[in-house]
């Protein structure tokens, strides 16, 4: 009487040929990935990758190459200046976000970053164009006309605008009420049910590819109904937040992500949409863009 596995392990499809063979069983996701080719994967660019170093380990964030150029440039400037080192994660709101930055105003950007030009453009959405990649899903979405992926990051499109979607692991820029009040130094990561109501209201600058569990398992804060840590000692200190390219090669976490513009990606999504293992008695026939955990692995 096992039942310790809510979702059963993958059953390998039999390769045996019968005289009157049943239709071949669709490949499982494990089988699909095992059969993928090196060119189906995209390696993260160290110059475009952040390491958030916590006492518990490393969180690997890729910055978007397409949606928020001003914010990404500002964040690179800040990382290279060690702006966040010694600051802390000061907010963990259950089923919503964790957030870090300078809530006490101890590190004014204008002093720490004389080269940073503020304010930043809002960059909440971006015009659809042939230079803005988008691998569309056929699945309906309530928040946008179409959903899909750009560089493996969940994205959405309605009319002439496209944007990165607030799915689990999305990294966004906190702001006040004014559209241009997000200065790139207050960053948050989605740790719960996708808060898609934030779509189009915030600049999403990237995605966590590894280490989400270090953020999602932080104790929740109790302040202000916002998950703020009420005492400074509850905060999770940031040892360093820097670009991978500034870290010695031997100390890097080299990751590659399944390319969303390859046939194997569509096959992978289909295998998640209609699960192939025997545990599923009812196949969903649908998948939400935020339910697709895009495969990521260590570069061999």
CB under 8 A: which stretch of 34-42, 46-54, 242-250, 284-292 binds a second copy?
Answer: 284-292
Distance of alpha carbon 262 from alpha carbon 36, whole angstroms: 10
Among 29, 68, 99, 146, binds a second copy (CB under 8 A): 99
Task: Please answer whether residues 65 and 151 qualify as being in contact, where contact means their C-beta atoms are separated by less than 8 angstroms.
Answer: yes
User: Does position 105 bind a second copy by CB under 8 A?
Assistant: yes
Of 138-197, binders to a second copy (CB under 8 A) are 139-143, 167-168, 172, 174-177, 179, 181-183, 185-186, 188, 192-197
What is the rounded CA–CA span in Å between residue 298 and residue 56?
20
Judged by CB under 8 A, the number of residues near a second copy is: 75
Q: Residues 6 or more apart from 20 whose CB is under 8 A from it?
A: none
* Smallest distance, a second copy to C-beta of residue 97, A: 6
CA distance 129 to 126: 9
Report the candidate in 186, 164, 194, 175 with the shortest Cα–Cα distance to residue 287. Answer: 194
Closest contact distance (angstroms) between CB of 280 and a second copy is 6
Q: Is 16 in the site for a second copy (CB under 8 A)?
A: no
Q: Which of 71, 79, 288, 296 binds a second copy (CB under 8 A)?
A: 288
Which residue among 55, 281, 298, 300 contacts a second copy (CB under 8 A)?
281
- Which among 60, 23, 42, 39 has a CA at the least distance from the CA of 241? 60
Work out whether 13 is an interface residue with a second copy (CB under 8 A). no
Q: Restricting to residues 58-97, which ones interact with a second copy according to CB under 8 A?
A: 90-92, 94-95, 97
The 8-class DSSP code of residue 246 comes to G
């Amino acid at each position: 009487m096992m039942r310790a596995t809510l979702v059963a392990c993958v059953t390998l499809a039999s390769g045996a040929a019968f005289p009157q063979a049943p239709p071949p069983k669709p490949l499982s996701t494990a089988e699909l990935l095992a059969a993928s080719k090196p060119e189906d994967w995209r390696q993260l660019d160290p110059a475009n990758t952040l390491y958030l170093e916590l006492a518990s380990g490393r969180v690997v964030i890729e910055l978007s190459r397409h949606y928020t150029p001003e914010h990404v440039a500002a964040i690179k400037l800040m990382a290279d200046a060690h702006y966040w080192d010694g600051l802390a994660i000061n907010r963990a709101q259950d089923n919503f976000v964790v957030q870090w930055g300078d809530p006490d105003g101890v590190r004014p950007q204008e002093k720490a970053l004389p080269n940073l030009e503020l304010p930043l453009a809002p960059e909440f959405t971006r015009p659809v164009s042939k230079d803005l990649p988008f691998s569309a899903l056929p699945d309906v979405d309530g928040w946008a006309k179409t959903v899909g992926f750009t560089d493996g990051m969940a994205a959405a499109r309605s009319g002439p605008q496209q944007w990165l979607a607030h799915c689990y692991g999305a990294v966004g820029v906190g702001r006040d009420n004014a559209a241009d009040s997000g200065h790139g130094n207050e960053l948050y990561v989605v740790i719960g049910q996708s808060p898609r109501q934030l779509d189009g209201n915030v600049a999403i600058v990237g995605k966590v590819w590894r280490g989400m569990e270090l953020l999602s398992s932080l104790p929740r804060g109790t302040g202000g109904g916002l998950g703020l840590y009420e005492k400074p000692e509850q905060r999770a200190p940031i040892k360093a937040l820097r670009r991978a390219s500034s870290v010695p090669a031997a100390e890097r976490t080299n990751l590659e992500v399944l390319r969303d513009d390859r046939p194997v990606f569509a096959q992978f999504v289909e295998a998640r949409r209609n699960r192939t293992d025997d545990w599923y008695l009812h196949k969903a026939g649908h998948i939400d863009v935020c339910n697709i955990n895009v495969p990521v692995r260590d570069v061999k």
